[in-house]
Structure 1
Amino acid sequence: MSSKIYFGNNNRFSFKRGALSVASRLHHKIAPKHALKTARRLFLTPAKGRETNPVPEGMVIKAVPTKQGSMMTYKLGSGPTWVLTHGWSGSSNQFFPLMEHIAEAGFTALAYDHPGHGKSEGKEGSIPAFLNALDGILNQQAKIEGVVAHSMGGATLLESEHPSLHGKPIILVAPVLKYWDNLFGTIEASGYSMKLFKEVIASVGQEYNVRIEDIDPFVKLGKRQSPVVIVHDKGDRFAPFGVSKEATMYDHVTLVETEGLGHGRVLKSDPLKEAFSRVAGPLI
């Protein structure tokens, strides 16, 4: 979601929220087609993330074709492959420190930029677009060892039914498990026209021929048969920690709690590296 829209952290009246509410509803009433086009650009255009991590020595960078267009991939190490999938307005660059850890442990780390993110093709992003990219990357792997997914990348991963994922361990980092609750709550807090936002959702569903309302990462998590480890910071302001805590109701889910790392810094943290080492285990 673009950072252009105003998001509040509480329900108190805000002039910006009030003005946005009036403006978006009036726009929708006067010029519905243009309003929908504007709303799609607002909600489906990711913000460009900062690439602050240096490229590790030996990294192989390559664009690969997928159903969603050309996706830029980043490969480091040798041995069994772990796939890494980032979240909204992120990029593979966020994974570089973890990829070095994975490679040093004797594995191959394979990350990629989602549509409209990093150096991949596309201008818009959505879970269906993310899913096309993920499945396209998985299609090109003979076999994978497991997956590390951050934020919305985790929600996408849980929606995938790709056969290479069956029985494979998953590490979810700061996942958005109750996707719709989180998303609708954010839009309502912004003051933006909910009717117009729902039209955006409907247009995406029509474009990809999917039932958007069937997306439910929390339920899909419960149906997974393989072990899942969640690494989540208690103070995360973007993905509710309490939902990850609730997910431990499933016997195959383990939660690693962190403090002071937020939504992004946790990706280069020792607790995440330690969680990977425990899940991956020693190579025989």
Structure 2
Amino acid sequence: MSSKIYFNTRRFSPSKWLLGIGTRLHHGLAPRHARRTASRLLLTPQRNQRDQAAPEGLVRQAVHTGEGQLMSYRLGQGPVWLLMHGWSGSASQLFPLMEQVAAQGFTAIAYDHPAHGNSEGSTGHLPRFVRALDELIERVGPIHGVMAHSMGGAVALSSRHPGLEHCPLLLVAPVIDYVPQLYAMVARSGYSMRLFDAVVKEIEQEYQHPLSEVDPLAALARRSGPTLIVHDEADRFAPHKDSLRASQDGRTRLISTQGLGHGRILASPALFAAFAQLSQSAS
């Protein structure tokens, strides 16, 4: 259900009105049960089942965190670049880029977010991903650079881990305007916004991470390390215009592509060249 909401770009669906009526009624009659049901429906990502061939020499390792065991994938030798996928994605999408990172003399470490890929968990949300990221950084040691795709960009920019303050950051098709876009997608589905707000408040209280503090654009402006964005102009899920706005701060650079969309960009020569450019300039 959640992927149908978050990746649905249609403005109207015949079931939208019925979904709104049903969820509002459920919330009014049984609020606690409605919140539990909404959490399962809205916060359950689709597990990525794509069979992506693993690079030769790839090392898999489960990393224990407070958010459950995360499956990590390591390739290469040298300073560590940490790679993050987006919502309903998996680290296997990053295997082609991991090969490029390793070929440049670095160690590429990717991992599956909680409730994604081969990691533990059944539900996911940004505060959970941020906490898991911060713990993972403590386990894998100093980070030389970070690459993040889609929602992974909002996760990286929401972390306050000191190890990320100065390192180079490569954002691929990032969700810059995260909170407004999240609410717009749920509203477009027809789901009860009052019920969604109740779910959000429970998460905020548990993690002490208010959504009002989630502002990737402001976080970009505060960064001291170099940031490079690679984004396709026709991306249907993460608006290119937001990356264009981010690049106007004078410090964030943008490489715009065409014809690659939101997913194919991860295995594109344009991204590989951007990584080589950023990693060499930051060395």
Aligned with 1:176: secondary structure?
Answer: coil
Alignment pair present for 1:266 and 2:265: yes
Q: Is the Cα–Cα contact under 8 Å of residues 3 and 88 in structure 2 kept in the other structure?
A: no
One-letter code aligned to 2:9: N
Change (3 A) 1:247 1:141: same
Which residue of 2 is the match for residue 49 of structure 1?
Answer: 48
1: CA distance, partners of 2:225 / 2:252: 9
Quote the sequence identity (%): 48
Q: Is the Cα–Cα contact under 8 Å of residues 5 and 185 in structure 2 kept in the other structure?
A: no
2: CA distance, partners of 1:194 / 1:179: 16
1: CA distance, partners of 2:226 / 2:77: 24
The residue correspondences of 1:1-284 to structure 2 (distance < 5 A) are: 2-5=2-5, 9=9, 11-12=11-12, 14-281=13-280
1:105-156 deviation per Cα after TM superposition (whole angstroms, max 9, x unaligned): 1111000111000111111111111011111111123322100001111101
Q: C-alpha root-mean-square deviation of aligned residues, in Å?
A: 1.7
1: CA distance, partners of 2:161 / 2:274: 24
Q: Is the Cα–Cα contact under 8 Å of residues 46 and 117 in structure 1 kept in the other structure?
A: yes
TM-score (normalizing by structure 2):
0.95
Give 4+ residue runs of structure 1 displaced > 4 Å after superposition. Answer: 4-8
The Cα shift of 1:4 comes to: 4.7
Q: Is the Cα–Cα contact under 8 Å of residues 147 and 171 in structure 2 kept in the other structure?
A: yes
1: CA distance, partners of 2:94 / 2:175: 18
One-letter code aligned to 1:45: T
Q: Which piece of structure 1 moves more, 267-276 or 135-144?
A: 135-144
1: CA distance, partners of 2:22 / 2:236: 27
Aligned with 1:245: secondary structure?
Answer: helix
Q: Which piece of structure 1 moves more, 132-141 or 231-240?
A: 132-141
Q: Is the Cα–Cα contact under 8 Å of residues 4 and 42 in structure 1 kept in the other structure?
A: no
The Cα shift of 1:214 comes to: 1.1
Q: Is the Cα–Cα contact under 8 Å of residues 7 and 190 in structure 1 kept in the other structure?
A: no
Aligned with 1:114: secondary structure?
Answer: coil
Q: Is the Cα–Cα contact under 8 Å of residues 60 and 72 in structure 2 kept in the other structure?
A: yes
Residue ranges of structure 2 left out of the alignment (5+ in a row): none
**Number of equivalences:** 283
TM-score (normalizing by structure 1):
0.95
One-letter code aligned to 2:171: L
The Cα shift of 1:6 comes to: 8.8
Change (3 A) 1:109 1:24: same
1:60-84 deviation per Cα after TM superposition (whole angstroms, max 9, x unaligned): 1000111212111100000111000
Q: Which piece of structure 1 moves more, 212-221 or 233-242?
A: 212-221
2: CA distance, partners of 1:8 / 1:167: 35
Change (3 A) 1:270 1:283: same
One-letter code aligned to 2:102: A
Q: Is the Cα–Cα contact under 8 Å of residues 5 and 186 in structure 2 kept in the other structure?
A: no
